[in-house]
Amino acid sequence: MKPTKNDTHAIVEFIDVLLREGAIIQADVIITVADIPLIGVSLRAAIAGMTTMTEYGIFEEWDAAHRTRTER
């Protein structure tokens, strides 16, 4: 058996799938000092290519406004 090298890189494949399929990341963070909660942060991010975003109804208005502004 001889080792083979794959021409595609994992990070390139990951970014390709991420932009094509998209992902939603949700995280809740609580910062505490001496077991006393001080700050709470709730984060939610949608990551995808613009084509995928508009297919799911995210940024549709922004995309339409941007396209009409660009056509002028």
Q: How far is 25 from 27, CA to CA, in rounded Å?
A: 7
Q: How far is 43 from 60, CA to CA, in rounded Å?
A: 22
Q: How far is 50 from 52, CA to CA, in rounded Å?
A: 5
Is 1's pLDDT higher than 80? Answer: no
Q: What are phi and psi of 5, to 5 degrees?
A: -105, 125
Residue 19's H or E segment, with its range, is helix 10-21
Q: What is the mean pLDDT of residues 59-70?
A: 84
pLDDT 10s digits, 13-55 = 888 888 999 999 999 999 999 999 999 999 999 999 988 888 8
**pLDDT at residue number 8:** 67
Confidence of residue 5 (pLDDT cuts 50, 70, 90): low
* Closest C-alpha among 10, 5, 46 to residue 54: 46
pTM of the model: 0.56
